[in-house]
Amino acid sequence: MNIRNNDFLYLLLSISLAGLAAIALGNSDAKVGLYTAVGALGIVFTLAIIIKPSLGANILIIAIFTNISDNLTDRGYPGVVKPLVAVVFIAIMVRNYYVGQLPKDRKKTVFIEVFLLLYFVAVASSYLVASNKERAMADILDLGKDIVIIYTILFAIREWTSWKQAIWLIIATTAILCSLGLYQIVSGNYGQDFFGLAQLELQGVFDGDNSSTLRINGPIGDPNMWGQVIAAVMPLVLFRIIHEPHAKTKFFTMGVAGILLFVLLNTYSRGAYLALLVVVFLTFFVLEKKINPFVIIAGIGLMILVIPLLPQSYSARFQSLTALTPVSTNSGGVYQDGSLQGRSSVMLTALSMFADNPLLGVGAGNFKNNYQKYNQILGIEFEYGERDAHSLYTQVLAETGILGSIMFLGILISLMSGLSKSLKSIKGLPDYKVYGPWIISLQLAIVGYLVASTFLHNDYLRYFWILVALSVTVIQLVDEQFNYRERASLFGTSFYRRIT
Give me the pLDDT at residue 4, please. Answer: 44
Give me the pLDDT at residue 99, please. Answer: 81
Give me the pLDDT at residue 494, please. Answer: 43
**At 134, which amino acid appears?**
E
Cα dihedral across residues 215, 218, 222, 225: positive or negative: negative
- The domain segmentation of the chain, as residue ranges, is 1-102, 109-474
The residue ranges of the chain whose pLDDT is under 70 are 1-42, 204-211, 286, 288-342, 378-385, 483-500
Give me the pLDDT at residue 94, please. Answer: 84
Give me the pLDDT at residue 361, please. Answer: 95
Q: CA angle at residue 102 from 98 to 106, to 5 degrees?
A: 155
Give me the pLDDT at residue 496, please. Answer: 41
Most distant CA atoms of the chain, gap in Å: 86
**At 85, which amino acid appears?**
V
Q: Which string of b and e fits 461-473 if b means at least 16 CB within 10 Å?
A: bbbbbbbbbbbbb
Q: How far is CA 188 from CA 77, 180, 192, in A?
A: 29, 12, 10
